Chains A and B, each alone.
Chain A
Amino acid sequence: MVALKKDFILILTILLLPLLLRSSFVVSVATIAVIYSILSLSWFFMEKEAGWASLAHSIPFGIAAYALAINPTLLILAFLLSLLLFAALSLSGREKFVFTSFITAVVFWYLSHYITLSVNGEIVGGEEGFSFQSIGIWESYLLSSSMLLLFFASFALIRKSGLGLKIEAVRDDEIAARSIGIDAFKIRIVSFTISVITATVAGLCYLLYFGHVSPEIFSVEVALLPFVASLIAGNRWLSPVVGSYTVVIVSRAFSGILPEAHLLLYAAVLILSPKLKGWWSASVD
């Protein structure tokens, strides 16, 4: 609990810095980092707390943004579709989930190029995506920062609650958990719901900030981002936030000379992942 409080204070400090600097550029970069942090946190909850490593968090993230851009009334449907998809994929078991989820994410990315609508006789969508009324940079930053803090605090509370213990029990040993009366499938759906809600909110923040959504949101880069972000900074609840900030800052810092710098970072992190895991475990011990 002490470590979580420290992490919370660190996140609060990271979030307050751009407000003190009062630079629009810094705030715009920070907003993107915060949105990806929420996405990574949703992934981290499902992976670390519930034990389901997904490579498809781009789906609830992207579907939510698309639904809001096309018709806000579709949001609940979008959320249910993501949840149903995760639940269906989980039927193949934990080991296969990481692969089936990744394949599904790629399929969604491909299909998203064909999402079109006819508006006043004009075809919109497809490669170009959809537009939506964005909110200002500062408003976006405050909104997404508040969401990040809210979810971080909620996850900390869940972990120290009865629900958190049940989720951990199912993660550690599903058969043993069922033998003491826990409905493992119900708990799995509850943990997916929490994770999908978080990713959905990240998708909404994304659309409100950019005012535009295109198939890029379903790209493999976005699908891999939470995984890579969590590898960068270890196995703490702060890790997805630090990792997302690192990816966004590296990407921005080199955007002029090397637009795909973040892909190099991905590659480096994935290649070094066994070493990184070793380092982080050693630092925890």
Chain B
Amino acid sequence: MIDVSKVYNGNVVLRSINFKLESGFAGIYGPNGSGKSTMLKIIAGIERPDCGRVVFEGKDIAGKAPEEIAKMGISIVYQIPRPFKNMTVLENVATPFLLRKSYREAIESAMEICEFVGLRNKVNLKAGMLSQGELRLLEIGRALATQPKLMLLDEPFSGLDVENAKRVRRILRKIKREGVDAIVTAHRMKLLRDVVDISYEMRGGRIAEGR
């Protein structure tokens, strides 16, 4: 991100953000309203920046449509899960595969992802029936099904009990081992420990030095 700014109703949410991720997992922590979610949404194309550039693999993607950005290899996991609630878990995960594969292949690949995220025994349940923790796993599974190069995980541990937070942490480490890059946000730095390679603090729409 190069000099990216965003203003909502007169409130400056992002102030000339400059942020670079070479590879690996980067963590961004900070209080509510610090601009973490807005930053991820701008990268994913859900929001448009007021100014600045977002460069991915040498191309400026700022202002591009979310579907175009997803096809380039960036996927987002929302803080508040957004499942396709009338579809089964398997169908949720199969849907991104349908852009590249036949229905049968998509279902087969989705089954592997469900196994990967630990939802193998829930594949036939409607997404609307899942618990908060399972919904988070489903979101991660669905994002993985886009076969991303970069994952944007917006507060993946929020609202989870200790057990589910551990599950998500375990899965994130597995994803990291698969060579996918990611930007993970959280309220506190300690939530990101042993998941990310580098952490940045975000406060008042600005990013501080990494550590």
Interface, chain A (partner B; CB < 8 A): 161-162, 165-166, 168-169, 171-173, 175-184
A-B pairs, 7 with minimum CB distance: A181-B70, A176-B82, A162-B98, A172-B84, A178-B66, A180-B96, A178-B67
The answer for the CA separation of A183 and B70 in the assembled complex, in Å, is 10
> Cα distance A177–B76 when bound, in Å?
11
A-facing mask of B140-162, CB < 8 A → 1, else 0? Answer: 00110110000000000000000
Cβ contact within 8 Å between B106 and A162? yes
**Is B70 a contact of A165 with CB atoms below 8 Å?**
no
B76 contacts across to A, CB distance below 8 A:
179
Contacts from B to A (Cβ < 8 Å): 44, 46, 65-67, 70-71, 75-76, 78, 82-87, 91, 94-96, 98-99, 102-103, 106, 142-143, 145-146
Considering the complex, give the chain A residue whose CB is closest to the CB of B96: A180
The CA of A176 and the CA of B98, in the complex, are separated in Å by 15
Please name the residue on chain B nearest to A186 by beta carbon. B67
Is A165 a contact of B67 with CB atoms below 8 Å? no
Q: Which residues of B contact A177 (CB under 8 A)?
A: 84, 95
On chain B, the residues within 8 Å of A184 by CB distance are 67
Q: Is the CB of A168 within 8 A of B44?
A: no
A180, B87: Cβ atoms under 8 Å? no
Q: Which residues of A contact B99 (CB under 8 A)?
A: 180-182
Q: Is the CB of B145 within 8 A of A168?
A: no
Query: What are some 29 contacts across the A-B interface (CB < 8 A)?
Result: A161-B103, A162-B102, A162-B103, A165-B94, A166-B95, A166-B98, A168-B86, A172-B83, A172-B84, A173-B83, A173-B85, A175-B46, A176-B82, A176-B83, A178-B65, A179-B44, A179-B67, A179-B70, A179-B75, A180-B70, A180-B75, A180-B95, A180-B96, A180-B146, A181-B67, A181-B96, A181-B99, A182-B67, A183-B67
Task: Looking at the assembled complex, report how far the CB atom of A159 sits from the nearest CB atom of chain B, in whole angstroms.
Answer: 11
Chain A residue at minimal CB-CB distance from B105: A162
Cα–Cα distance between A166 and B75 once the two chains are bound (Å): 17
Q: What chain A residues lie within 8 Å of B65 (beta carbons)? A: 178
- A176 & B71 in contact (Cβ 8 Å cutoff): no
CB distance from B48 to the nearest CB of A (A): 14
CB–CB A168/B84 < 8 A: yes
Q: What residues of B have a CB within 8 angstroms of the CB of A172 in the complex?
A: 83-87
Residue on B nearest A160 in the bound complex, by CB: B103
Most buried by A among B46, B75, B84: B84
Q: Are A165 and B75 in contact (CB-based, < 8 A)? A: no
Cα separation A172 to B46 with both chains bound (whole Å): 17
Q: Looking across the interface, which residue of chain B has its beta carbon closest to that of A181?
A: B70
In whole Å, how far is B79's beta carbon from the nearest beta carbon of chain A?
13
Q: How far is the CB of B108 from chain A (nearest CB, A)?
A: 13
**Are B46 and A179 in contact, with the CB atoms below 8 A?**
yes
**Given contacts A166-B98, A168-B87, A181-B99, are A176 and B78 in contact (CB under 8 A)?**
yes
Whether the pair A178, B70 counts as a contact (CB closer than 8 A) is yes
**Cα distance A176–B65 in the bound complex, in angstroms:** 12
> In the bound complex, how far is the Cα of B75 from the Cα of A252, in angstroms?
57
CA distance A177 to B66 in the complex (A): 9
Scoring A166, A175, A176, A183 by chain B CB atoms within 10 A of each residue's CB, the highest score goes to A176
Inter-chain CA distance A142–B106, complex, in Å, is 39
Contact A181 to B71, CB < 8 A, known contacts A165-B91, A175-B66: yes
List of A residues within 8 angstroms of B70 by Cβ: 178-181
- CB-nearest residue of chain B to A180: B96
A179 vs B65: C-alpha distance when bound (angstroms): 9
Q: In whole Å, how far is A168's beta carbon from the nearest beta carbon of chain B?
A: 6
Residue of B nearest to A161 (CB): B103
B134 vs chain A, min Cβ distance (A): 16
**Once bound together, how far apart are the Cα atoms of A284 and B145, in whole Å?**
32
Cα A173 to Cα B91 in complex, Å, equals 14
**Minimal Cβ-Cβ distance residue in A for B106:** A162
